[in-house]
A and B are shown apart, each in its own frame.
Chain A
């Protein structure tokens, strides 16, 4: 048995496992399902790096500037600098692992993506996440065989084992046998976004429940910017979820329009002549929201891909076309796609520093579950990059801080009596979702947020199981963060405070639960060049 435990086997978890294994250090890789089922496989459009293969003289400095600007100056610039400067090497490493990106000779072709002025996004048609995950899974498998990475692939992490402000390990449930065991050691959470808080209303998986983040929050782990939810502009409803229409569709020439007086109005192109349909996601989603309210307009926004050439469909977007044909019975070559904004990504999450340390000693977080890199709005193409770098950086931090771990005792499996083993009942999950969505829409104000808080308090007043109680606390942190941030920035738009207020709020929202109440404070961003 080993004493480093990675929770989650998506891209961040695999990146961390590979880093430990290549350093010769064993780790446990614990996940509810195998890597093939992780949310990372859903990433479509690509991964950013200033490789400059398109003759546009791109540089990491421009990638940095776009990312910071896209995040509305809320991201830790030291972390973003690390991200954007590391990106070309991360891409070269993926190529060396055999990821079949769309290539021209021996260099990847790059495509346009939202919020970026140059072609910077490497891609494998429109299934980039799946294709990268496959290569990373293969790479980690080599070390599974050598005994350095030990998979627990049908195991959920129920809670953290804490002692006097330190994390001492995790409690793990075997979903097949129903037994649980305590794993002592250093913990790295790579457990993904908070999709489960909004069942059926996000583009994510059913497995990213957010329940571990909620349990960690209840145990005193701080959250950063919990109010920052990304609504992706182009999603469609399919059975049981929102389905993403990749930003790459607009990167390859797709156009958004709404009918105004019976005519097609390309509102993004008119209002934002430079980037047009490829403005950052927060801007596009908000503009869609507003044009839909316009009484002169038809109420439905369409994504028009009908002018895309056959070669683009075949070589770059083949999977998207099949998906739309299968699920919507619609051929995007012939018909515009009716699209709506849908929750897609959580910029906020577990609060970490540049080294991916949380406020609990012995606990680290990386990937979408943590709040690093993306500020108030994530750029398309930066999520997989953030997951890969985050997992590696967290692993490097653990290796530097904790040294080579000692061999720990074998965990003892026993029938599980942990109250957290009981799931949030589906009906209650839907109620919490609806309450939160009442406050956390694309456009927010004090009245709707206070109303949602009141409803949540009433809902919390009746007895619930422990997992539901934790989810209520997490929802409260999101609402209170949104209420306290009396400005508009990125994904957080307040109709009652429509201006950005750098003096008061160019700060990280920090949410902490002290055992009785959820407290919100604002923390200065780290100094540039600092830690």
Chain B
């Protein structure tokens, strides 16, 4: 099959963006955008006009949906390139591939997601004392531990902008593990940060719910965390 990757490119942060259409041919019906980018960067594939293609800057690591490195906007939606089959996204033989829009572009499809990690520090997402081992909270803690910090949820969030006070689901989810596991008395700084940096800014659009590449049940964690952090209802006290 032949599919054209229509890539929004930029040589560096301050350079003007431009589009480049690069045809990719493969026999693999399951080929992903990641596979296409890897093949393009191996060299030898000219663009549609026959011009040589400079390597496309993009980030990847695990290539199996477990690290979040390759998040980008594919066919208008935030997705992991390793999880985006070309056949799923192709329209009239072409797939648009663009960098995430909520973060500064470094080059091509590489964006600077430092703000994700700064927000986790601002939210004081860490334990302040040992967590009591508890079978009852393990399920929610497990789900909350699976966040990839890819940024897809922030891409679709109407309330998030990089540099703003609202930290979004990418901070709420990791925080959910701690508000689930810690006794209330140990949560004061986290609860305060949660209230200010998440609860106060979340418009409950739940746009994050449908885009999480890890399939985390955002809504369930949000409800639980609001109950624990804002209303101080601890999960382990709830009857099963």
Closest to B122 in A: A145
- Chain B residues, CB < 8 A from A107: 133
Assembled-state Cα–Cα distance A102/B149 (Å): 24
Say yes or no: is A41 at the interface (Cβ < 8 Å to chain B). Answer: yes
Shortest Cβ distance from A447 into chain B, in angstroms?
31
Closest to A102 in B: B138
Contact of B131 with A36 in the complex, beta carbons under 8 Å: no
Contact of A100 with B145 in the complex, beta carbons under 8 Å: yes
Shortest Cβ distance from B133 into chain A, in angstroms?
4
Q: Which of B37-51 contact A (CB under 8 A)?
A: 38, 41-43
Contact of B135 with A206 in the complex, beta carbons under 8 Å: no
Say yes or no: is A125 at the interface (Cβ < 8 Å to chain B). Answer: yes
Partner of B63, one of A105, A125, A127, A239: A239
Partner of A426, one of B41, B62, B113, B127: B41
Assembled-state Cα–Cα distance A106/B30 (Å): 43
- Size category of the binding interface on chain B: 35 or more
Encode A94-105 as 1/0 by CB contact (under 8 A) with B: 011111111111
- Chain B residues, CB < 8 A from A38: 61, 67
Contact of A327 with B133 in the complex, beta carbons under 8 Å: no
- Chain B residues, CB < 8 A from A239: 28, 30-32, 34-35, 63, 82
A-B contact pairs, 6 of them (CB 8 A): A103-B135, A138-B125, A139-B127, A142-B128, A238-B63, A239-B31
Known: A97-B131, A238-B64, A241-B64. A135 touches B142 (CB 8 A): no
Say yes or no: is A427 at the interface (Cβ < 8 Å to chain B). Answer: yes
Encode B131-151 as 1/0 by CB contact (under 8 A) with A: 111110111011001111100
Encode B48-71 as 1/0 by CB contact (under 8 A) with A: 000000000001111111111100
Contact of A207 with B41 in the complex, beta carbons under 8 Å: no
Contact of B117 with A153 in the complex, beta carbons under 8 Å: yes
Closest to B147 in A: A134
Partner of B146, one of A42, A98, A127, A135: A127
Contact of A322 with B138 in the complex, beta carbons under 8 Å: no
Contact of B82 with A240 in the complex, beta carbons under 8 Å: yes
Contact of B126 with A36 in the complex, beta carbons under 8 Å: no
Say yes or no: is A171 at the interface (Cβ < 8 Å to chain B). Answer: no
Say yes or no: is B192 at the interface (Cβ < 8 Å to chain A). Answer: no
- Chain B residues, CB < 8 A from A425: 43
CB contacts between A and B, total, < 8 Å = 150
Known: A127-B146, A138-B178, A239-B34. A326 touches B125 (CB 8 A): no
Majority SS of interface residues in chain B? loop
Shortest Cβ distance from B41 into chain A, in angstroms?
7
- Chain B residues, CB < 8 A from A151: 117
- Chain A residues, CB < 8 A from B164: none
Contact of B178 with A33 in the complex, beta carbons under 8 Å: no
Known: A41-B66, A42-B66, A103-B135. A98 touches B177 (CB 8 A): yes
- Chain B residues, CB < 8 A from A353: none
- Chain A residues, CB < 8 A from B125: 138, 141
Known: A36-B149, A238-B30, A426-B42. 11 other contacts (CB 8 A): A37-B69, A41-B62, A127-B146, A131-B142, A135-B145, A138-B174, A142-B127, A240-B35, A323-B64, A327-B64, A430-B42
Encode A340-371 as 1/0 by CB contact (under 8 A) with B: 00000000000000000000000000000000
Shortest Cβ distance from A413 into chain B, in angstroms?
16
Contact of B148 with A98 in the complex, beta carbons under 8 Å: no
Of residues A38, A141, A327, A427, which shows the largest number of chain B Cβ atoms within 10 Å of its Cβ?
A141
Contact of B138 with A176 in the complex, beta carbons under 8 Å: no
Known: A100-B141, A151-B117, A239-B34. A39 touches B62 (CB 8 A): yes
Contact of A33 with B69 in the complex, beta carbons under 8 Å: yes
Say yes or no: is B181 at the interface (Cβ < 8 Å to chain A). Answer: yes
Q: Which of A78-124 contact B (CB under 8 A)?
A: 95-107, 124
**Chain B residues with a Cβ under 8 A of chain A:** 28, 30-32, 34-35, 38, 41-43, 59-69, 82-83, 106, 110, 112-114, 117, 120-121, 124-128, 130-135, 137-139, 141-142, 145-149, 174, 177-178, 181, 215
Partner of A176, one of B35, B60, B112, B130: B112
Of residues A37, A131, A205, which shows the largest number of chain B Cβ atoms within 10 Å of its Cβ?
A37
Contact of A205 with B62 in the complex, beta carbons under 8 Å: yes
- Chain A residues, CB < 8 A from B142: 100, 124-125, 131
- Chain B residues, CB < 8 A from A103: 133-135, 138
Say yes or no: is A243 at the interface (Cβ < 8 Å to chain B). Answer: yes
Closest to A142 in B: B126
Assembled-state Cα–Cα distance A33/B60 (Å): 9
Shortest Cβ distance from B3 into chain A, in angstroms?
14
Closest to A93 in B: B130
Say yes or no: is A2 at the interface (Cβ < 8 Å to chain B). Answer: no
- Chain B residues, CB < 8 A from A101: 138
Contact of B63 with A322 in the complex, beta carbons under 8 Å: no
- Chain A residues, CB < 8 A from B139: 100
Shortest Cβ distance from A59 into chain B, in angstroms?
22
Partner of B59, one of A33, A134, A135, A430: A33
- Chain B residues, CB < 8 A from A37: 59, 61-62, 67-69
- Chain B residues, CB < 8 A from A327: 30, 64
Say yes or no: is A336 at the interface (Cβ < 8 Å to chain B). Answer: no
Contact of B121 with A141 in the complex, beta carbons under 8 Å: yes
- Chain A residues, CB < 8 A from B132: 106
Contact of A106 with B134 in the complex, beta carbons under 8 Å: yes
- Chain B residues, CB < 8 A from A141: 120-121, 125-126
Contact of B63 with A241 in the complex, beta carbons under 8 Å: yes
Shortest Cβ distance from B83 into chain A, in angstroms?
7
Assembled-state Cα–Cα distance A98/B131 (Å): 5
